[in-house]
Structure 1
Amino acid sequence: MRIAVIGAGNVGGTLGRRWAQRGHEVAFGVRDPSRGADAVKGGDALPAGASVVTPEEAARGADVVVLATPWDAVPDALRELGPALDGVVLVDATNPLGPGLTLDVGPACESGAERVQALAPRARVVKAFNTTGFSNMADPVYGGEPTVMFYAGDDPEAKSAVRLLVAALGFDAVDAGPLARSRELEHLAMLWISLAFGGLGRDIAFRLVRR
């Protein structure tokens, strides 16, 4: 699969590096690609199959585009990608964080993912990779068992593609329903953040158990 990762911070860098290690073709879209591997968090040299290019070059011809920028950079990032997102699976890995680690959901209580869909109406948006920290994306297994990664979206084919990418990293991939369920996923992210920074640390994760 050809994956464009827009944003190469801790989340984008970790996800992209791990997918490249599993044989996917990964293009990191950054504003200054001349920095090469130095522009991508998570290590020194890039894995085979990974490259650093401009965001537009990364998205061109990609099967999946992963949005992993800070929330306040989302509108500009989507505007820059423009028609390159038409018909593409767009994974929203962001959280709409406002001042004081609050959710900036607006008066209609929409989710960040629904805003992303409104800004990129021809993309097939799926919410995923927003409910835990990047260290769990590097290693989602605790005590020999996978931790959970929920995903939500309205397009079945897009969700199937994202499920494969979630499972490839070792997560328990669970379909949370339509894109509107991103509201709950973003609140779940806030719970993880509040616990992690409230004293429990980053080495915590959620697991879904079944009887």
Structure 2
Amino acid sequence: MTTLSTPFLDRLLADGVITASHHDAARARLAHAASEPFDSLGSALFWLAGENIVTDEEMEEMEEVSLRDAAFASNATRVQALDEYEDCLFAQFDREEAERIRATPWHQRHRPWLIAGGVAVLAAGLVWFLQPARVPPACDDDAVVKTLRSALHTAESRTLQANPMLRRDSRPNYLLTEFESIQELGYLKQARYRQVDADGQRKVTPAP
């Protein structure tokens, strides 16, 4: 039997976030490890999910309990773990997006929009929507639209920072983008990734 010290797993067990069977399975998986391969409650939960020790259904139940018992002090560890788990998901998304950008030829990186006659039309493209560790919304939910607008606005800001000469052109306001025909193309349940296809258009505000 391993004598490995597992403070993060122990706390998740002690505060009822995971079960004894989860704890035993995790320690068995780490039988030959020198230390826990994570440094927070959330990254421990992320590892448990990634190792399939905690199932998708159990994660969803955990999230529902977190929301239902939000006002109780006994729920504090669960809330902390899930918040940190979300941070791990966002970090994973950022790494994968950075890798995708590195693998994309430069001339193809900034061509999602076609601008004509003062109106920009989004060619039906693919957008990765990252849903934090909560019950995922429908494709046409306001949260999805808000996230798409925010992501486009952030992408445009980065493009302008990388290409100062683009500031001479008309500036689009991505936060006012109107989307239609939003359709789900795929959803990776464990990672909380939703892939959607959308058509969108927004007015262009002339640069001063």
Range of TM-score over shorter length: under 0.3
Structure with the higher fraction of residues in helix conformation: 2
Q: Which has the larger radius of gyration?
A: 2
Tell me the TM-score normalized by structure 1: 0.24
